[in-house]
Amino acid sequence: MLFSSTLLKRGLITWKTNWCRTFFGRRKTPDLGTCNIITSVGNVSPERPIPEHIAKPPYYFVRNSPSTGEGQPEIKSQEQIRGMRESCRLAATILNSACSFVKAGVTTDEIDEFVHDETIKANAYPSPLRYLGFPKSVCTSVNNVACHGIPDDRNLLDGDIINIDITVFFNGYHGDCSRTLLIGNVDDRGRYLVECTERCLSEAILCCGPGQPLCVIGKSIDKYAKRKKLSVMPAFAGHGIGSFFHGPPNILHFDNDFPGVMIPGMTFTIEPVLSLGTCEAEILEDAWTAVSIDNARSAQFEHTVLITNEGCEVLTVAS
């Protein structure tokens, strides 16, 4: 998620200073490969209806305000953890189904319809819908769209990469996960980006456990990205999650030394965005779609995790 909190702003200043010291005058022009560039938003269909019997989060009725991610993280009870396991398992199951549905020629609006219908069939609510005014039930981010892409009438093309970001609200809890997919014949650079980003998330998860500083996640991601000659897009952070969609703690994906320790019962997302080009992004006219300023492709993978007494449990695993 894109954050504007004081914590993240201070973190970005620190990260940008360190990045400039490391790379200024030394970094070569990156090989961006070839892809179809997204430069404008498409036509967005009307909001899909939610049946009366589906339990809805408060922001369905009254538009909410952005979370700062600051404050004390929630430490969940065993009952809350059971609820999180169910919602996260459902989110991962729907994501698996959506990945099987996606292919060249399908529009991102058709992906939204598929995810919406599967969520409703499971008696759950598609969390993105109406969150801060978001008009759709899933985020679909293609090629140079870093995240928060709004599904529209654009057809997926051979050679595209697409991130599908699914969150469901089920039995009072949100479960959140995403995956970047290859559509047809993706070039070598695109494949490299997607493979490295998935591995980056896995390495970050290995850092998690009780007593570990939260900042080790960002340090791991930053170190891995530099090793692979990729850029972390620092404006997009992970977040606490539970009965709320976004809350403390902020999970910064770049090298940082901000305070906070992992405690058993915490649940949060880790969702790094890595780019073949520079780290900077801008928002298109729909006020949501974030694209790289150099048209470089980015990839993202996301899991919701639980800190346990023994280590870390990935909750977004399909049934």
Q: Is residue 65 part of a domain?
A: no
3-state secondary structure at position 203 = helix
Q: Is residue 221 part of a domain?
A: yes
With cut-offs at 50, 70 and 90, classify the pLDDT of residue 27: low
Q: Is residue 241 part of a domain?
A: yes
Look at residue 91 and tell me whether its pLDDT is greater than 50: yes
Q: Is residue 57 part of a domain?
A: no
Average pLDDT, the chain: 92
CATH number at residue 296: 3.90.230.10
Q: Is residue 53 part of a domain?
A: no
Residue 1's pLDDT is 57
Number of folded domains that form the chain: 1
Residue 318's pLDDT is 92
Once rounded to an integer, what is the mean pLDDT over residues 281-310? Answer: 97
Structure tokens that stand for 153 in this block: 């009438």
Domain that includes residue 305, residue range: 71-314
Q: What is the tens place of the pLDDT at every residue in 59-86?
A: 999 999 888 888 999 999 999 999 999 9
With cut-offs at 50, 70 and 90, classify the pLDDT of residue 8: very low
Whose tokens are 């977004």? That residue is 316
Q: Is residue 44 part of a domain?
A: no
Q: What is the tens place of the pLDDT at every residue in 130-189?
A: 999 999 999 999 999 999 999 999 999 999 999 999 999 999 999 999 999 999 999 999
CA 113, distance to chain mean position in Å, is: 20
Residue 115's pLDDT is 98
Residue 21's pLDDT is 42
Once rounded to an integer, what is the mean pLDDT over residues 264-279? Answer: 97
Q: Are 312 and 208 in contact (CB under 8 A)?
A: yes
Does 239 appear as a known binding residue?
A: yes
Q: What CA–CA distance (Å, rounded) separates 57 from 170?
A: 10
Does 165 appear as a known binding residue?
A: yes
pLDDT top residue among 3 and 225: 225
Cβ burial of 17 (10 Å; 0-12, 13-18, 19+) is exposed
* CB count in 10 Å sphere of residue 187: 15
Cβ burial of 228 (10 Å; 0-12, 13-18, 19+) is middle
Look at residue 241 and tell me whether its pLDDT is greater than 90: yes
Residue 76's pLDDT is 98
Residue 272's pLDDT is 98
The CA–CA distances, whole Å, from 286 to 3, 94, 164, 204 equal 17, 26, 18, 32
With cut-offs at 50, 70 and 90, classify the pLDDT of residue 207: very high
DSSP state of 30: P
With cut-offs at 50, 70 and 90, classify the pLDDT of residue 2: low
Q: Is residue 143 part of a domain?
A: yes
Q: What is the tens place of the pLDDT at every residue in 108-138?
A: 999 999 999 999 999 999 999 999 999 999 9
Q: Quick check: bond before 213 cis, omega within 30?
A: no
Q: Is residue 13 part of a domain?
A: no
Does 302 appear as a known binding residue?
A: yes
Residue 59's pLDDT is 98
Q: What CA–CA distance (Å, rounded) separates 170 from 119?
A: 9
pLDDT top residue among 37 and 220: 220
What is the model's pTM? 0.92
Does 176 appear as a known binding residue?
A: yes
Q: Are 291 and 247 in contact (CB under 8 A)?
A: no
